[in-house]
Amino acid sequence: MMNIPFHDRPAETIDPTQLAGLQLHRLRASVGHALCTPFYRQRLAECGLPESFTMGALSDLRRLPFTVKDDLRASYPDGLLAVPRDQVVRVHMSSGTTGAPTVIYHTAKDLETWTGLVVRSIAATGVTKFDVFQNMMTYGLFTGGLALHYAAEKLGMMVIPAGPGNTKRQIKLMRDFATTVVHATPSYLLHLYSALENEGVAPGDLALKRAFLGAEPYSESTRQKIEALMGIDAYNSYGLSEMNGPGVAFECVLKAGMHVWEDAYLIEVIDPETLEPVRDGDEGELVFTTLRRQATPLLRYRTRDLSSIIPEPCACGRTHRRITRIKGRSDDMLIINGVNVYPSQIEGVLMKIREAGSNYQIVIEKEGSLDKMIVKTEVSGDLFTGDLRSLEAVRRDIGNRLKTEILIHPSVELHEPGALPVSEGKAKRVVDNRPSL
């Protein structure tokens, strides 16, 4: 039996009935905090809930209204602030992948809680104070950098706050300080791998053992590709700035879905059309309620992220339920001539193809009245020195496999390594050139 590491075993293996009691207790406090904000006072009144309303049971959650990203934008900058301003010690903002910024305030206690959740998350992968942690995530308003930074320090690791980019320097730091763990976006780690190849550094010459990968959707085949190329274990990390950031859900050593820390977040999965809960195990939109946040409590926040709850308990013994890999955002979905396609489906196919490189891009154009999809992918450099027929065979194979997965036949373009743009933060995979309606 594999050794299962824990940071706070009693909290992580809490009895489910006891967990439900704790959740109800914390939910009541969260609703109370929420009522301190102008936004929720008005919203709850609009729903016909009196200020004296208290949650009798967890199922009363369904009487509460949803909160959406536009509510946060409309409340900018402080319509959702629930504590006096002098108690706030930090603000974070969403990286704005999808529009105007949203702000989340934190008290000192909020930061302590958050760091605790991230410590618990990373410790579940087996890292300890003997590890050397190189943080390749963006530091700043984006939550990814600072969250892991403080947690890794708290655990006692030596932290290298490298931030993203400057790949040559990353490699030098990894060698000079014998980095054992990195935190990066999956797209950046694949880029780093190509850079290692270019520099003639074999991954086996590095001390690297683990990677925490998150911030953007990626497929199981990408994880496996990264693990095989680099000879490491890669763990999926999920979070969003509205729910603090990293530390909402994280994989344990068993790598079979991400444990959601249910003593800090109430999770629901809903049908994004009907807004009704889906059955356990079915896919839907993740909705979270903060249970421990003082400065910016959020009730039933609709993430737009698509996933499902894994109803079976994890063999590791943790009682906090797991969610499956995020398939994408409901607003990520592309509609190509009426067919729904998620970028993650395309990625899943590309990563299974040996010759397909680490970087790809999906371009959509209008051709007459029809949509045309072009999948550009980097392939190994040696293909370009071989004969044209093998290049054409790879191209055709990719096209056919994509057709089987997404039901439409995109045109496929092969590019040499390094030819497609790389981003330092979240990768921008889709370029949609169709005129907007």
Q: Name the residues that contact ligand ADP, by CB under 6 A.
A: 94-98, 142, 214-217, 236-241, 303, 305, 326, 329
CB of 106 to ligand ADP, least distance (A): 14
Q: Which is nearer to Zn ion, 315 or 431 (CB)?
A: 315
Tell me which residues touch Zn ion (CB under 5 A): 252, 254, 314, 316, 318
Q: Residue 188: helix, strand or coil by DSSP?
A: helix
Token look-up 């009363």 returns: 60
Q: In sequence order, what are the beta bridge partners of 361?
A: 376
Decide which of Zn ion, ligand ADP, none touches 371; Cβ closer than 5 to 8 Å per partner kind. Answer: none
Toward ligand ADP, which CB reaches closer, 170 or 244? 244
Our CB check for Zn ion shows the closer of 252 and 379 to be 252
Q: Minimum distance between the CB of residue 255 and Zn ion, rounded to whole angstroms?
A: 9
* Partner from Zn ion, ligand ADP, none binding residue 241, C-beta < 5-8 Å depending on class: ligand ADP
Q: Is 85 helix (H, G, I), strand (E, B) or coil?
A: helix
Question: Measured between alpha carbons, how far is 182 from 189 in angstroms, rounded to an integer?
Answer: 9
Residue 335's beta-bridge partner residues?
Answer: 340
Tokens matching residue 339: 């067919």
Compute the least distance from the CB of residue 382 to ligand ADP, in Å: 32
Distance CA 262, CA 13 (A): 11
Q: Which does 187 bind (CB under 5 to 8 A by kind): Zn ion, ligand ADP, none?
A: none
Q: How far apart are CA 430 and CA 226, in angstroms?
A: 22
Q: What angle do CA 62, 64, 69 make, to 5 degrees?
A: 110
Q: How far apart are CA 347 and CA 376, in angstroms?
A: 11
Cβ proximity to Zn ion: between 315 and 407 the closer is 315
Length of the chain equals 437
Strand partners, 302: 287
Centre a 10 Å sphere on the Cβ of residue 156 and count the other Cβ atoms it contains.
11
252: partner contacted, choices Zn ion, ligand ADP, none (Cβ within 5-8 A by kind): Zn ion
Taking the complex as a whole, the smallest distance from the CB of residue 83 to ligand ADP amounts, in Å, to 21
- Minimum Å gap between C-beta 244 and ligand ADP is 9
Work out what residue 329 binds among Zn ion, ligand ADP, none; the CB cut-off runs from 5 to 8 Å by kind: ligand ADP
| Upstream peptide bond of 101 is cis (omega within 30 degrees of 0) | no
Q: Which does 237 bind (CB under 5 to 8 A by kind): Zn ion, ligand ADP, none?
A: ligand ADP
Question: Which is closer to Zn ion, CB of 13 or CB of 87?
Answer: 13
**Of 239 and 410, which has the nearer Cβ to Zn ion?**
239
The DSSP line for 337-386 is: TTEEE-HHHHHHHHHTSTTEEEEEEEEEEEETTEEEEEEEEEE-GGGGTS
CB 31 within 8 A of CB 299: yes
Residue 94 contact among ligand ADP, Zn ion, none, beta carbon within 5 to 8 Å by kind: ligand ADP
Which residue number, 252 or 364, has a Cβ lying nearer to Zn ion? 252
Note whether 78 and 38 are within 8 A (CB).
no
CB of 377 to ligand ADP, least distance (A): 20
Closest CA to 362 of 339, 345, 381: 345
Select the binding partner of residue 81 from Zn ion, ligand ADP, none (C-beta < 5 to 8 A, by kind). none
Tokens at residue 244, please? 């603090």
Which amino acid, one-letter code, is at 262?
E
With respect to ligand ADP, which residue has the nearer C-beta, 142 or 265? 142
Helix 186-199, helix 167-176: angle, nearest 10: 80
- C-beta closer to ligand ADP: residue 189 or 240: 240
The least distance separating ligand ADP from the CB of residue 306, rounded to whole angstroms, comes to 9
Find the shortest distance in angstroms from Cβ 318 to Zn ion.
Answer: 5
Q: How far is the CB of 359 from ligand ADP (least distance, A)?
A: 18
